[in-house]
Amino acid sequence: MDPTTPAEEWTDPLLLNALQTGFSPTAVKVLLAYLLSLIIAITLHEAAHAYTAHWCGDPTPKKQGRLSLNPLDHLDPMGSLFILLAGFGWGKAVVVNPYNFRDLRRDMMLTSAAGPATNLMLAGIGVGSWHAARYALGVAPNVSPNFAFTLLLLIQVFVTLNLTLMLFNLLPIGPLDGVKVVQWFLPQRLAEEYYAFNARYGGLLLIVLVMLMYSVPQVGQLLFWPIERICDIALALAVPAGMW
């Protein structure tokens, strides 16, 4: 496994992979990179929901102590464990009261979109860091290959995890952020019908989708294809000769 490994391979069960390899140095590095990236990505994702809801007029997140950048306020133990075991997961949901919003539909969409938008921003920062690191490592004398590998590995894991969280949360089913985003673009009546359908069947559809991801390889490949393509484009952009 190297710093240009396809995106779907980063979502292999990380703890299981580490155990199977006898906690090889590379497996441990990936695991630690995921832990660090996980803390940053989920903390800022959930904090973005909370702060956006607060700015839109809902005091509920503030009352519940969610206007915070403390990871302990946002990490869900089971959701974090799922990311390590299965490659996907979730943070502690931010509870909002949409009737406090100044514009219910618009502000609900903004609050929901804030989390994935934050992950996209973090991925962009990671891409910039990747290219800056490649340049610095290319011109710096006597750089340890192990250090270079570890640094680029950490950055790619960070980018890939944020893209995964963004795209997964934008799926318009179950309790995911994509539901409220899609509703905003629909006419009022159709949005209400979609909400009712999703409230009844969305959770089940999400469970079925996750099961298919890991039981039917083609489904997982289809879902992770956008992540892999984005990573390929963002991280494999040409670097001028002599810099790497």
Does residue 193 carry a catalytic annotation? no
Long-range contacts of 73-77 (CB under 8 A, 24+ apart): 74/42, 74/43, 74/45, 74/46, 74/47, 75/38, 75/39, 75/42, 75/43
Q: How far is CA 219 from CA 34, 86, 151, 210, in A?
A: 23, 15, 31, 9
CB proximity list for 167: less than 8 A, separation 6 or greater: 116, 226, 227
Per the residue annotation, which of 46, 192, 193, 228 is the catalytic one?
46
Identify whether the C-beta of residue 167 lies closer than 8 Å to the C-beta of residue 227. Answer: yes
The set of catalytic residues is 46
